[in-house]
Amino acid sequence: MAVIRYFGQIAEATGCTREQISLVNSDLKELLQTLNEQYDLDRFQKHIAVNQVLVNPDKACLIKDSDEIVILPPYAGG
Amino acid sequence: MKKVFIEGAITPEFIAESLAKHQTKHSIGAHNMFLGQVRADEVENQKVKGIEYTSYVELANTQLETIREEAFQKFNLTCMHIYHSLGFVAAGEVCLFVFVSASRRKEVYAATEYLVNRVKEEVPIFGKEIFDNETHQWKINQ
Tell me, letter by letter, the H, E, C secondary structure of B128-141. Answer: EEEECCCCEEECCC
Residue whose C-alpha is closest to residue B141's, from B6, B36, B46, B15: B36
Report the percent of chain A where pLDDT is more than 70. 100
Q: Is the pLDDT of residue B1 over 80?
A: no
In chain A, whose CA is at the least distance from the CA of B126? A76
Q: Please report which confidence band the pLDDT of residue A23 belongs to, taking 50, 70 and 90 as the band edges.
A: confident
Q: Is the pLDDT of residue B72 over 80?
A: yes
Q: What is the pLDDT of residue B123?
A: 98
Q: What is the pLDDT of residue B142?
A: 76
Q: Please report which confidence band the pLDDT of residue B140 belongs to, taking 50, 70 and 90 as the band edges.
A: confident
* Domain extent listing, chain A: 2-72
Q: Is the pLDDT of residue B53 over 90?
A: yes
* Cβ–Cβ contact B50 with A under 8 A: no
Q: Which contiguous run of DSSP H or E holds residue A55?
A: strand A53-55
* Cβ–Cβ contact B116 with A under 8 A: yes
Q: What is the pLDDT of residue A3?
A: 95
* Cβ–Cβ contact B93 with A under 8 A: no
Q: What is the pLDDT of residue B100?
A: 98
Q: Please report which confidence band the pLDDT of residue A71 belongs to, taking 50, 70 and 90 as the band edges.
A: very high
Q: What is the pLDDT of residue B107?
A: 92
Tens-place pLDDT, residues A27-64: 999 999 999 999 999 999 999 999 999 999 888 888 98
Tell me if the domain spanning A2-72 has CATH number 3.10.20.30: yes
Q: Is B127 close to A72, i.e. CB distance below 8 A?
A: no
Q: What is the ipTM of this complex?
A: 0.93
Q: Do the beta carbons of residue B51 and residue B38 sit within 8 Å?
A: yes
Q: Is the pLDDT of residue B82 over 80?
A: yes
CB within 8 Å of B109: residues ≥ 6 apart: B32
Residue whose C-alpha is closest to residue B42's, from B142, B141, B137, B140: B137
Q: What is the pLDDT of residue A24?
A: 75
Chain B closest-CA separation from residue A77 CA (Å): 5
Report the percent of chain B where pLDDT is more than 70. 99
Q: What residues are paired with A77 via a beta bridge?
A: none
Q: Which domains does chain B show, CATH number per domain?
A: 5-37+58-124 (3.90.1170.40)
Rg for chain B, CA atoms, rounded: 16
Tens-place pLDDT, residues B101-125: 999 999 999 999 999 999 999 999 9
Number of H helices, E strands in chain A: 2, 7
* Cβ–Cβ contact A75 with B under 8 A: yes
Q: Please report which confidence band the pLDDT of residue A70 belongs to, taking 50, 70 and 90 as the band edges.
A: very high
Pick from B56, B139, B140: CB nearest A72: B56
Query: What share of residues in chain B are helix, strand, coil (percent, to 5)?
Result: 30, 40, 30
Q: How far apart are CA B15 and CA B19, in angstroms?
A: 6
Q: Is the pLDDT of residue A22 over 90?
A: no
Q: What is the mean pLDDT of chain B?
A: 96
Calculated CA dihedral for residues B88, A44, A14, B48, nearest 10 degrees: 30
